[in-house]
Amino acid sequence: MPVAGSYAAIIDDWEGLLVSSRSNADKLPDVSRHTAALEQMLGQTKAMKALQDSHTAARQEATQELNKLLAQGRDLAIRLRAVVKGEIGPRSERLVEFNMAPLRKRARRKTAEKPPEVTTPAASPAGPQPSNQQGSGQ
């Protein structure tokens, strides 16, 4: 039994099992039915893997083609929006229908009411005044 669950490990295990059972067919007479079934399953599995690989390649090609089409479509949408804006005007509210923001007047800022000025005591030019605190125990 393969330790890893990868496709290659499983196929290698099955092929090794079939080779071993063929080389020991004289000692294992009742396994021919099982080896035939495993050979058939191995063939079907390899065919399905080949089909999966071809679909992977086709999917990658389709993804690349889709990305090209999306890029071309974006360019065309930009051009169409530019024409629409030019035809109906950059300030028209109908631009919203085309998922574009029209140019609008900016709202005036409201002048905030200034709080009354708080007066602070002026500091003396000589610097801070020394405090007259008495120290403990002096």
Confidence tier at 122 by pLDDT (50, 70, 90):
low
What secondary structure does DSSP assign to the chain, as a single string?
Answer: --SS--HHHHHHHHHHHHHHHHHTTTT-GGGHHHHHHHHHHHHHHHHHHHHHHHHHHHHHHHHHHHHHHHHHHHHHHHHHHHHHHHHH-TT-GGGGGGT-PPP-PPPPPPPPPPPPPPP-PPPPTT-PPPP-PPPTT-
Is the predicted pLDDT of residue 124 greater than 60, yes or no?
Answer: no
Condensed to tens digits (0 to 9), the pLDDT of residues 35-70 reads 999 999 999 999 999 999 999 999 999 999 999 999
Which residue type sits at 32?
A: S
Condensed to tens digits (0 to 9), the pLDDT of residues 65-88 reads 999 999 999 999 999 899 999 999
Of 72-81, 88-97, 106-115, where does mean pLDDT reach its minimum? 106-115
Predicted local distance difference test score (pLDDT) of residue 42? 94
Mean pLDDT score across all residues of the chain: 84
Q: Residue 52 has which token pair?
A: 């999966």
